Amino acid sequence: MTRLTGWAATAFVAALALGGCSAIPVPEVPPTATDSSSDAPADTDAASPPSPPFEDVVAGTGLVWSDEFDSVSDSRWSTWKRMEGARGWGNEELQNYTDAEENSFVADGALHIVAKRESTVDADGLASEYTSARLMTYETFRYGRVEARIKIPVGVGLWSAFWLLGTEHTPTAPWPSRGELDVMEYVNQARELNSGIIGVKTDDSPWSWVNAYPVNADWSTAWHVYAVDWTADSVSYSVDGQELGTFRKEDLEPENLWTFDNPSHIILNVAVGGRWPGNDIDDAALPAEYLVDYVRVYDSEIRQVPESWMPKPPW
């Protein structure tokens, strides 16, 4: 979900517009000035990050993990960690993520993440005029299929996301070296579905591959199933069974590293403001609810990692 100025997606690929729209081409976006493609190619194998110090785990088959959000229980919060704070989360976001029941709770068979206009101060004394929730699994997953059935909110200044981020097994390693899989992101009026990946280059700067698909105006009024199929050699996205795009390891540019072999945490959140949606917030759209019917994981390795390895935002 991290969006940093000074770099952009190295590819935007068009596909059929979803929800009954006609096909709308999206032009390719050239690399930004930070792209080092003009440099001499690096020895990708030699520069690849070392294998993480994880024990071998045999992948399960079929459905190996899920949260159907059918029951209300405090034990759920030993599965999902409510991240907290108002430090901007690497994107100059405006909200304070809280552990308050008003911002994240289960009711009527669904997880509710609620973004609100309210004044709060976080544990570090930072003030915010907005609150929301960001949930991350304590468990990590590697490879397989991860899917969620979600209904998103709309409103100027909102940023909804469903994504995975590699565990922080090496705290001093640059953020993109852990690998980021953005299954679904929407901003503002949710007229474009974004999915992509973020990795690291040989010089420790990030590279990305992003697909952006136009959707119709009533897209957010319905539930949709967002999924990633992830292997050691490829990452593929889909919505409601329709393929959105696939990136393969063999497609890497010489200076880009494959950083998608780390066990990763699942993250669900709604941000308010930030570099991407902007800080012109439509307060009339608040409170805004992001609803999750279920999250399911298939054919994946599952690991328990120390809480100290849970990813932290790049302040």
Q: Which domains does the chain have, with CATH numbers?
A: 63-309 (2.60.120.200)
Annotated catalytic residue, options 93, 147, 168, 185: 185
Who wins on pLDDT, 213 or 18? 213
Segment 257-284 mean pLDDT: 96
Q: pLDDT by residue (tens digit) across 216-260?
A: 989 988 999 999 999 999 999 999 999 999 999 999 999 999 999
Q: How confident is the model at residue 68 (pLDDT cuts 50, 70, 90)?
A: very high
Does the pLDDT value for residue 13 go beyond 90? no
Triad 71, 75, 80: Cα angle to 5°: 95
The residues with which 228 forms a beta bridge, in sequence order, are 146, 237
Annotated catalytic residue, options 93, 147, 168, 180: 180
Q: pLDDT by residue (tens digit) across 280-290?
A: 999 999 999 99
E strands, the chain, where? 12-13, 63-67, 80-82, 95-97, 104-107, 110-121, 127-132, 134-137, 139-142, 144-151, 158-166, 180-187, 192-200, 206-214, 224-230, 234-239, 242-248, 264-272, 288-298, 301-304
The answer to whether the beta carbons of residues 63 and 98 sit under 8 Å apart is: no
Active site residue 28: no
Residue keyed to tokens 């697909």: 211
Q: Which of 29-38, 214-223, 285-294 has the lowest mean pLDDT?
A: 29-38
Active site residue 250: no
Q: What is the mean pLDDT of the chain?
A: 85
Residue keyed to tokens 């759209």: 285
* Residue 229 token pair: 């199929």
Residue keyed to tokens 């000035």: 33
Triad 265, 222, 106: Cα angle to 5°: 50
| ω into 287 cis (within 30 of 0) | yes
